[in-house]
Chains A and B, each alone.
Chain A
Amino acid sequence: MAARSLWNGTLTFGLVNVPVKVFSATESKSIHFHQVHLSDEARIEHRRICPKEDKEVDKDEIVMGYELSDGGYVELSKDEIAAAGGENAKLIDVEHFVPGEAIDPIFYDKTYYLGAGDDGEDAFRLLRKALDESGKVAIGRWVFHDRERLVAVRPYQGVLAMGVLNFHDEVVEADELDLPSPQKNPTKRELEMAGKLVKSLEAKFEPHKYKDSYRDAVLAVIERKQKGEEIEAPEPEEREEPDDLAAALEASLA
């Protein structure tokens, strides 16, 4: 992989500075289309227009505006917004080490890889090795693309994986959902039968077994179109809710 880094900087813990590079760990394999005008198949361009003058506006004539409740705006330049990055904007600033398994998956957002930065190989290997032996993950902050992200850095194969975490106030807790309670709880027998059904479907997680079938379906549509075939959209399927829970469970187990 001729990897190109997305960000170069320093991971610091205590007084130890580890030069690091951030790389994408995931990539979308979805089919990406260009928008075109159907009548002449010319590309669609997205133009920035000032509706007052009805004219296209150059990038350098644009400022960022924060809307106030009275409809007015506070204008900020890109540099002024960047100032929110604070003094640690060039760092992945590690604050603590925590047991990795304690982090509920609800916190996990996108993952990146960390590789060693220039002149940073020794420090990088040391951090990777020490994290591996400690069984801990490093919790730090990272400013990227005009946002501060909480990150969890952990050993991953020969390098480090940096998972972006949601902040606690961004996470919706289950008690905010006001889940209704049934008039009658599921019976012991129903729970037992459902338990059997779960058992019968137990498996190992084997990610390579799952392929994105939508991607193949999109490519198939493109191919049919190329051959000049007529393409019709299918009707979606509907399902009914069964009214007898116990009967449905029994039929599932049969």
Chain B
Amino acid sequence: MPRSLWTGSLSFGLVNVPVQLVSAVRDLDLHFHQLHEKDDTPIETRRVCSKEGKEVPYEEIGNEYDGVVVTDEELSAADPAKTRTIDIESFVKLDEIDPIYFDHPYYLIPAGETDGTIRAYKLLAGVMEQSERAALGRFVLRTKEYLVAIRVREGALMLSTLRFHDEVRDIDGLPGAGGRTKPKEVKEALKLIDALSTDWKPEDYDDCYRKRLQSIVRAKRQGGEIKVPETDPERTQPVPDLMAALEASLASARSG
């Protein structure tokens, strides 16, 4: 069971559902320690005062912005009053939320074993499943306030933190925007897309990097030499003739 990151209540009208927040993704990456090469000692990072050159304990550290210094305690005055509640403000269609807004996915699970809590949770999950809508609300995690979308996935309430509108950059000035295409090439590209189309089956994609890194660690442990593979230069060159490349791709996709 994933670790609880937050406990509070999800409030829907006057119905409060006590909930816990757990992450919906787990970290499977290989982690490394920084070592001092000479003596294999793990490196420590210390907070040092640049003026005194001495280590500074955490409680003597303040936060400076624009020449003004505030302590952590003073900063907590900015914390929203409702840090233990997620108020549902509205229900929207999930597909109206562009994936660009999605930040991190979590689950909300009932907090506590009382039947009242579990029934209220089930009621909310049940009614949201029927309505096929996502609930929008606000919530505070570690002093930051987030806009969140709550929806049902296989009977469980999921909460996704969303980016605020002004955190999404506009596309002005990006190279390649607009411009013409040749209908013949588009037609051929559509055929190629069709030939390479499948259903979305997430289990078909494993993290190959993680696997390769595991075997590199194993090889190194046994004293092997690690070679950095080269990218095939043919795959990084712009193709001189798009139509010819499309036709050749299509022939190869259809034969194999």
* B37 with A62: CB separation less than 8 A: yes
* A87 with B231: CB separation less than 8 A: yes
Using A83-B216, A125-B181 as known contacts, say yes or no to A40 and B51 having CB atoms under 8 A apart.
yes
* A222 with B65: CB separation less than 8 A: yes
* B25 with A170: CB separation less than 8 A: yes
List chain A residues, Cβ under 8 A from B232. 87
Using A126-B189, A163-B99 as known contacts, say yes or no to A252 and B37 having CB atoms under 8 A apart.
no
**Is B91 in contact with chain A by the CB < 8 A criterion?**
yes
* Interface 1/0 per residue, B1-16 and A, CB below 8 Å: 1100000010111111
List chain A residues, Cβ under 8 A from B230. 87
Closest to A59 in B: B34
**Is B255 in contact with chain A by the CB < 8 A criterion?**
no
Docked pose: A23 CA to B100 CA in angstroms: 13
Docked pose: A76 CA to B228 CA in angstroms: 13
Q: How large is the interface on B (under 10, 10 to 19, 20 to 34, 35 or more residues)?
A: 35 or more
* A231 with B235: CB separation less than 8 A: no
Closest to B210 in A: A148
Within 8 A of B (CB), among A198-241: 198-199, 201-205, 207-208, 210-214, 217-218, 220-222, 225-226, 231-234, 236-241
Docked pose: A134 CA to B190 CA in angstroms: 6
Size of A's binding interface in residues, CB under 8 A? 186
Using A52-B39, A172-B2 as known contacts, say yes or no to A148 and B209 having CB atoms under 8 A apart.
yes
* A191 with B49: CB separation less than 8 A: no
Docked pose: A148 CA to B226 CA in angstroms: 19
Report the minimal beta-carbon distance from B200 to chain A, rounded to whole angstroms: 4
* A121 with B206: CB separation less than 8 A: no
* A121 with B176: CB separation less than 8 A: yes
Docked pose: A29 CA to B163 CA in angstroms: 10
Main secondary structure of the interface of A (DSSP, over half): mixed
List chain B residues, Cβ under 8 A from A62. 34-37, 43
* A76 with B171: CB separation less than 8 A: no
* B208 with A141: CB separation less than 8 A: yes
List chain B residues, Cβ under 8 A from A242. 14-16, 116
* B40 with A220: CB separation less than 8 A: no
Docked pose: A2 CA to B174 CA in angstroms: 8
* B236 with A90: CB separation less than 8 A: yes
Within 8 A of A (CB), among B182-218: 182, 185-186, 189-190, 192-194, 196-200, 202-203, 205-210, 212-213, 216-217
Using A182-B119, A252-B13 as known contacts, say yes or no to A73 and B217 having CB atoms under 8 A apart.
no
Using A45-B50, A62-B43, A159-B171 as known contacts, say yes or no to A36 and B69 having CB atoms under 8 A apart.
yes
* B14 with A207: CB separation less than 8 A: no
Using A3-B174, A17-B237, A103-B200 as known contacts, say yes or no to A126 and B15 having CB atoms under 8 A apart.
no
* A174 with B190: CB separation less than 8 A: no
Report the minimal beta-carbon distance from B78 to chain A, rounded to whole angstroms: 4
Given contacts A61-B36, A74-B221, A96-B198, 4 further A-B contacts (CB under 8 A): A14-B253, A17-B235, A147-B209, A241-B116
List chain B residues, Cβ under 8 A from A249. 13-15
List chain B residues, Cβ under 8 A from A202. 90-92, 133
What are the 5 A-B residue pairs with the smallest beta carbon separation, nearest first?
A14-B249, A116-B176, A252-B13, A148-B209, A158-B177
* B242 with A16: CB separation less than 8 A: yes
Closest to B230 in A: A87
Identify which of B1, B103, B147 contacts A178 (C-beta below 8 A). B1
Docked pose: A160 CA to B20 CA in angstroms: 36
* B231 with A89: CB separation less than 8 A: yes
Within 8 A of B (CB), among A122-152: 122-131, 133-134, 136, 139, 141, 143, 147-148, 150, 152
Docked pose: A123 CA to B245 CA in angstroms: 11
Within 8 A of B (CB), among A106-123: 106-111, 113, 115-117, 119-123
* A27 with B50: CB separation less than 8 A: no
Docked pose: A238 CA to B18 CA in angstroms: 11
* Interface 1/0 per residue, A51-65 and B, CB below 8 Å: 111000100011111
* A73 with B33: CB separation less than 8 A: yes
* B51 with A37: CB separation less than 8 A: yes
Identify which of A12, A43, A84, A198 contacts B212 (C-beta below 8 A). A84
